[in-house]
Copies of this chain bind each other. A is one copy, B any other.
Amino acid sequence: MRGVIMRAPGDVRVEDRENPTILEPTDAIIRITASCICGSDLWGYRGAEPADHTPMGHEYVGVVTEVGADVTTVGVGDFVVGSFFASDNTCEICLSGYPSRCVHAQPMGAIGTQAEYARIPLADGTLVATPGQPDPELIPSLLAASDVLGTGWFAAVAAEAGPGKTVAVVGDGAVGLLGILAARELGAERIIAMSRHADRQALARAFGATDIVEERGDAGVAAIKELTGGLGAHSVIEAVGTQESMMQAIRATRPGGHVGYVGVSHGVSLDGLELFFSGIHLHGGPAPVRRFLPELIQLIWDRKIDPGLVFDLALPLEDAAEGYRAMDERRAIKVLLTP
């Protein structure tokens, strides 16, 4: 089969890879209908993480082509969505709502789903079948559920977005934009998108943002305070992962408020005393996407949400390198790849 390999930072190729096979009786094999490039893939692309002939991709939707002997909840022909972590969905951590930290968790990034096929470990726990074969126009939204929507949703839940709340969103990438959509669905009263790009501002408004703040850093914090009677937002979504973005999120939150942070931390160090006196709640990490999948799939199936709008560029898998370039140069918010 064909699959994306990052030979080195900045060097993305589509190469021949071995077709996956069932290794464990709990595995399934899926033919990938669509995959995509994640903002987190850019860390390696830009040299901020190692990349050495690394198979790429951890987001996927597809059709089951083979199941191991122990798989019971999905069958051949099912259209499925899964999270970027395989999880058993039965351990104590899964049952408490944190499947991405399942005691048997396996990162799908190590498998690489920017490819024609993928082996899905712990298929019963990991995969959720859609109610039927989806209409083609639903594919992007279902694919979004696999990571960016689920991650934005988790960020909004972790930030306790809800009725009566003012929510600020740091980061205007796909996750931040879908955090806005999630905050709206969760009933937030006011949603402030922090963005300085006209196209992203427009999508932010389409997803439910009521206000836009273009300033960043201290000026951004001051603008959020200005909009919230000097107190700061009740809920802040952090969807970047840098020192500046984390401090912007923490400082924009009122005492007792909640920061939901989902940007993978790069070089972030939090001063204990500042955090102490901030009085905020801090929660985040790898989003427990599997927790939300049934609900998110249903919302998409019922056409109540359209998170697939974050894909502003769709390319054949063979053109993956151009997809990486487009995201790196911020010409595209998020790139869908079709094998």
Interface of A toward B, CB cutoff 8 Å: 92-93, 96-98, 100-101, 103, 229-231, 241, 243, 246, 254-256, 261, 264-273, 275-286, 288
Provided the pairs A265-B275, A283-B281 are in contact, do residues A255 and B92 lie with their beta carbons within 8 angstroms? no
Provided the pairs A273-B266, A273-B268 are in contact, do residues A256 and B93 lie with their beta carbons within 8 angstroms? yes
Query: In angstroms, how far is the closest chain B Cβ from the Cβ of A255?
Result: 3
CB–CB B256/A97 < 8 A: yes
Q: Binding site of A, secondary structure by majority: helix, strand, loop or mixed? A: mixed
Provided the pairs A98-B279, A271-B269, A275-B270 are in contact, do residues A254 and B93 lie with their beta carbons within 8 angstroms? yes
Kindly list 11 other residue pairs between chains A and B, CB separation below 8 angstroms, not including A92-B231, A269-B270. Answer: A93-B254, A96-B254, A100-B279, A101-B279, A261-B276, A275-B285, A276-B284, A276-B285, A276-B286, A281-B281, A282-B282
Q: A264 contacts which of B103, B276, B284, B286 (Cβ < 8 Å)?
A: B276
State the number of copies, please: 2
Q: Which 5 residue pairs are nearest across A and B when measured between Cβ atoms?
A: A268-B272, A265-B272, A101-B255, A98-B256, A279-B285
Provided the pairs A92-B229, A98-B256, A255-B93 are in contact, do residues A277 and B267 lie with their beta carbons within 8 angstroms? no
Q: CA separation between A288 and B281, bound complex, in Å? A: 14
**Which residues of B have CB within 8 Å of A279?**
98, 100-101, 284-286
Q: A229: nearest residue on chain B (CB-CB)?
A: B92
- Supply 18 A–B pairs (Cβ within 8 Å), ascending by A: A92-B229, A93-B254, A93-B256, A96-B256, A100-B279, A103-B231, A243-B272, A255-B285, A264-B273, A264-B276, A265-B271, A265-B276, A268-B272, A270-B275, A275-B285, A276-B286, A281-B283, A282-B282
**Which residues of B have CB within 8 Å of A281?**
281-283
Query: In angstroms, how far is the closest chain B Cβ from the Cβ of A232?
Result: 10
Q: CA separation between A229 and B278, bound complex, in Å? A: 34
**Which residues of B have CB within 8 Å of A103?**
230-231
Q: CA separation between A155 and B95, bound complex, in Å? A: 25
**Which residues of B have CB within 8 Å of A266?**
272-273
Q: Give the residue among A231, A264, A266, A272 with the most B Cβ atoms within 10 A.
A: A272
Q: Give the residue among A229, A254, A266, A284 with the most B Cβ atoms within 10 A.
A: A284
Q: A287: nearest residue on chain B (CB-CB)?
A: B279
Query: In angstroms, how far is the closest chain B Cβ from the Cβ of A205?
Result: 27
